[in-house]
Amino acid sequence: MKEAFGIVDLFSGPGGLGEGFCACPGAKDAFEIDVSVEKDPVAHGTLRLRAFLRRFGSHLPPEYIDFINRGGPEPDWSALYPREWAHAEREALNLTLGEPETASILDERIAEIRRRRGDRIVLIGGPPCQAYSLAGRGRKPSDLGYVAHDENRHLLYQEYINVLKKLRPAAFVMENVKGMLSSSIEKRKVFDLVTEDLRTGGGSVEYELFPLTGSTDLHEHAQPKDFVVAAEDHGVPQARHRVIIVGLRRDLLPAMDEFKPPRLDAVADRNTVRDVLSAMPVLRSGISSRGGHVDDVEDWRRTVALGAARIAVLPHDLDGKAALKFGEALRTVDRTRKITVEKRKDAVGGTRLPDSCPDDLRDWLEDDRLTRLSLHETRGHMVGDLERYLFASCWAAATGCSPKAADFPDKLAPKHDNWKSGKFNDRFRVQPWDLPSSTVTCHLSKDGHYFIHPDPTQCRSMTVREAARLQTFPDNYFFRGNRTQQYIQVGNAVPPFLASKIAAALHPVLSRLFDVATPIVDNGEKAAITA
């Protein structure tokens, strides 16, 4: 068995990108995380827990499965499994990149990783997008190997470059928002500045940059838009578009006419909301105590039924079959006795995915040891929002798409002066069953208006677990923190299933490079490339 490639994971969040590399079915045991870095203590808690669980492979501790199934307080892992927990603490670091203490710790770890791995190292991560509003201030456009001045050490993107320079990995994967393609600083495109720095490896070794998708296999002809990966084209049930840049060390590459770069193949059929959410336990929303309401199931049922009766007499712009379908959807909740939904949380069962879910995604998400889905708990909503959610979900049932602001009857419109100005066009957005969802973002932590469940009988926004499934986190992936913090972690992450596809595309390329190349020794001197 060949030696695994070591991973250094920066800006790790809850670990989505690293999870994909380590659990990749197409490259089993091919990658191991040596160190991951996350500054947020709550996200780091999730990251460290997953690092601990990876020590057990597919045989997760029975105490962990019991914790997921039963809920309640989390066990003391350090007491139960001290060796495995100590390894997780060494792997997952709660540090802020850019601080002197962090640089000192990482320098020591980088030296140790280089001694142990040689060149068999991959750097992954995505500097937060906020960095690009500042990136390049004070830089000289001609300095391709630019290193940030002292006053700019807080630039998080530059920290990625600093680690790239010191680590000299065989490859890197950098992920970020699509907005970096259109952003400019001092009349230069941020994308051009970033790719210049990546090509020069921060002044250490040079890299060739490759898009994973796009219109050409020739990297020298790649356009910026070719680096945009649409997650929905690669099995993720979510329309999420991100810039992903893969770099391979130029001195390790064979003759380019003999070299086949990593590529992602598009799926024939896109996965949808229905494919991952339709078999989950049915839950009701909560109801806000404003207006004298009590959050119990009978009050909620009466409120939803009254909302349905009110909507039934309001005008809408649907006609023909769409109008009939809207009425059918609304009638599922037009009488209190018709509404059988009871629970807001703690629903047992419903852990299996629907038959429509493709096998590869099913295998990725499901865990047959689970008897319940953790973090599948709804939040409360105001009565006015419940009615808007109900209208939106019925509209989606009728049309297959979410209504725009202008589609809402005036009596359901919220009290915003600019409601129909276009600024609030998608303020209430249902996620239709038969499409990939829209991009899961951390805004879910503030309200659920952008992620309304498509089932009118549930009349609610989506839970953390539903958002996690759309992001393709396995069902046994537990997010620490309160519900707001959990939403933020899920929304900021790279979909692990997509990350696994990237790892599967990259691994054969790396394996071939090391079949023909002699690793560079630790002092940085280049060894001969052998045929």
- How far does Cα 243 stand from its chain's mean position? 13
Question: Is residue 522 one of the residues assigned to a domain?
Answer: no
Q: Which segments in the chain show pLDDT lower than 50? A: 131, 133-154, 518-531
| Residue 247 and residue 179 in one domain | yes
Residue 529 DSSP class? B
Q: What is the predicted pLDDT for the residue at 1?
A: 56
| Residue 253 and residue 297 in one domain | no
Domain of residue 466, residue span:
273-484
Q: What is the predicted pLDDT for the residue at 219?
A: 62
CATH of the domain at 252: 3.40.50.150
E strand or H helix that includes residue 188 = strand 188-189
Could you give the C-alpha distances from 388 to 40, 404, 436, in angstroms and in order?
Answer: 35, 12, 22
Residues identified as active-site:
129
| Three-point CA angle 52, 77, 368, nearest 5° | 65
Question: Is residue 528 one of the residues assigned to a domain?
Answer: no
Look at residues 308, 318, 450 and name the one whose alpha carbon lies nearest to residue 386: 308
Q: What is the predicted pLDDT for the residue at 216?
A: 62
Question: Is residue 527 one of the residues assigned to a domain?
Answer: no
Question: Is residue 505 one of the residues assigned to a domain?
Answer: yes
Q: Which two tokens stand for residue 47?
A: 């990251």
413 burial class (0-12, 13-18, 19+ CB within 10 angstroms)?
A: middle
Q: What is the predicted pLDDT for the residue at 160?
A: 94
Encode pLDDT of 102-158 as tens digits: 999 999 999 999 999 999 999 999 987 554 543 333 344 334 343 433 334 336 788
| Residue 380 and residue 247 in one domain | no
Encode pLDDT of 46-66 as tens digits: 999 999 999 999 999 999 999
| Residue 47 and residue 133 in one domain | yes
Look at residues 64, 69, 67 and name the one whose alpha carbon lies nearest to residue 348: 69
Question: Is residue 244 one of the residues assigned to a domain?
Answer: yes
Question: Is residue 45 one of the residues assigned to a domain?
Answer: yes
| Residue 132 and residue 51 in one domain | yes
Determine the Cα–Cα distance for residues 59 and 78; give it in Å rounded to an integer: 18
Q: What is the predicted pLDDT for the residue at 217?
A: 60
What total number of domains does the chain contain? 2
Q: What is the predicted pLDDT for the residue at 27?
A: 84
Q: What is the predicted pLDDT for the residue at 508?
A: 94
